[in-house]
Amino acid sequence: MINPIKYTLVLSLFMFFSSCTKLDLKPTDTIDAEKAYRNLNDVNLGLIGVYAQLNYTLIGVNAIISDEVMLPTENTVSNTDAHRWLYTADNGSVTSSYSDYYVAIDRINRVLEGLDKLTSTDKATADRYRGELLALRAFCHFELLRMYGSAYQNGALGVPYMKTSVISYPARDAFEVVVAAAKADLLAAKALIPLSFDDKTRVTKIAVSAIQARLALYEKNWAEAITYSTEVINLMPLATTAQFPGIWTDAADDEVIWKLKRMPDETRTGDLFFRQTGSIVLYAPSFKLINSFDQENDIRYQAYIKFDDTRGLKKSQYLVNKYAGTALSPGLADLKMFRTGEMYLIRAEAEAESTGNATGDLNTLRAARIKDYTAVNFAGKDDLILAIYTERFKELAFEGHRFFDLKRRNLPVERLPEDAINTSGAIKLLPSKAQYSLPLPALEISVNKNTVQNPNY
């Protein structure tokens, strides 16, 4: 007769050791770095996956919560809470970028880990890939800082700077910690990317200088802002008045430093502002922006804004033209991440705050955009800074800057009464209000015990 106790004990021991053996097996639902990145071609595919993760969300959010656009009454199909400053930590319209950028950062760190384990005879290509990855890591963290930092000053709540792919519960790094880490990554990247590499759909050495210039502006490091913007200006001249309109139809890429290529099967940038189905203007250019242009002589006006008086009653006659695409591909347009025009404005602001020919840079940019422009002088620093910010409002409209520009100067968002006909009273957003800083996602706050929300939410 079989002893049931002895039999049970033997069976239990067998199951225990079998389970231990199974626990030692590598998971089958993920690919470890050694297998995913076997050669430089695999690394390049991983890098392309990072670029593919970057999207236009920041451009849309920035325009919608600032004074760049107005909400037409014909828009009854799109989420309007963001434009009315009613967003909370549960609103994906303002929080989705948080996870989007951290997904990109996680991909970057995974590819870097795989690259570290490779032995390649093509050191030049391996170095360039590493440089692109480091620059992208800095850029993504900087974009997160612009969107979710509580303020742009030392000691303010920033975002966690992630250098490894690991499941963790990181606390928020301070503004200056994020800036320092990004600067270190950019310096390392710049040494690895050759100047001869000129693919504008990827991060080049000139693009690294452009990121450094923008970062220095937010840091208020005027000397570095001048240095890095000058590096770009010296290598990438402004588009002429004849070339400029072609930038926005993708017929030309003059003065474009870095752009994200958009393909026909991807979400179209123009859909942010205009819905093809039903011909609905979701967001129209604000009259505040329209009125800031010399509509006859400023080439930016027609490139950025379209007037159509055939749309009928209760329809907006003004449309955002910047991402209209072409007749064959309406709404399809590459995302221009950095342009030389921005570099002139960065240098002008830094010069106005320190030393240099800020007036000359501002007049140079205007002369390239406005026909028969006559150079002007300014009474003092305050007038010059105001002129630079007005020029940024026009030059960089719908490119993801206006709200952050106001926040950099601790200025309120103010809309004209004629731009607020459908905003439920959202005319002025003061820096003391919670919505002046975007909230971290509610899920992040509930899951990550080491993080905290921005003030007043």
Q: For residue 154, how many C-alpha atoms fall within 13 Å in the half-sphere facing its CB? A: 3
**For residue range 287-301, what is the model confidence (pLDDT) as tens digits?**
999 999 999 999 999
Q: In angstroms, rounded to a whole number, what is the distance separating the alpha carbons of residues 308 and 226?
A: 41
Distance CA 233, CA 200 (A): 16
Backbone region of residue 372 per phi and psi (left: phi > 0; alpha: psi in -120 to 50; beta: other values) = left
Q: Beta-strand (E) ranges in 289-376?
A: 305-307, 318-320, 335-339
DSSP 257-293: EEEE---TTSPPGGGGTEETTTTEESSEE-HHHHTTS
CB 150 within 8 A of CB 157: yes
Alpha-carbon distance values, 456 to 94, 138, 157, 363 (Å): 16, 28, 13, 41
DSSP, res 236: S
- Give 121: exposed, middle or buried? Use CB within 10 Å, 0-12, 13-18, 19+: exposed
Q: What is the pLDDT of residue 58?
A: 87
- Helix orientation angle between 40-53 and 123-148, rounded to the nearest 10 degrees: 20
Q: What pLDDT was estimated at residue 225? A: 98
In contact, 390 and 292? CB cutoff 8 Å: yes
What pLDDT is stored for residue 32 in this prediction? 63
Structure tokens at 417: 């009464």
Q: Tens of pLDDT along the chain (457 residues)?
A: 334 433 333 334 344 444 444 444 444 444 565 678 999 999 999 999 999 999 888 899 999 999 999 999 999 888 799 999 999 999 999 999 999 999 999 999 999 999 999 988 899 999 999 999 999 999 999 999 999 999 999 999 999 999 999 999 999 999 999 999 999 999 999 999 999 999 999 999 999 999 999 999 999 999 999 999 999 999 999 999 999 999 999 999 999 999 999 888 888 899 999 999 999 999 999 999 999 999 999 999 999 999 999 999 889 999 999 999 988 899 999 999 999 999 999 999 999 999 999 999 999 999 999 999 999 999 999 999 999 999 999 999 999 999 999 999 999 999 999 999 999 999 999 999 999 999 999 999 999 999 999 999 9
Instruction: Give the number of other CB atoms < 10 A from CB of residue 293.
Output: 21
Kindly tell me the burial class for residue 195, based on how many C-beta atoms sit within 10 Å of its own C-beta (0-12, 13-18, 19 or more).
exposed
CATH of 33-72+92-260+268-344+388-447, one of 1.10.1740.10, 1.20.1260.10, 1.25.40.390, 3.20.20.80: 1.25.40.390
Question: Please, how many CA atoms are within 13 Å of residue 97, restricted to the half-sphere of its CB?
Answer: 24
User: Two tokens at 181?
Assistant: 């880490």
Give the start-to-end residue ranges of the domains of the chain. 33-72+92-260+268-344+388-447
Residue 256's beta-bridge partner residues?
339
- Among 338, 30, 374, residue whose Cα is nearest residue 209: 338
Bridge-partner residues for 307, per DSSP? 318
- pLDDT for 267: 81
SS (H, E, C) 129-174: HHHHHHHHHHHHHHHHHHHHCCCCCCCCECCCCCCCCCCCCCCCCE
**What is the reported pLDDT for 2?**
39
Q: Give me the sign of the Cα torsion angle 434, 438, 441, 447.
A: negative
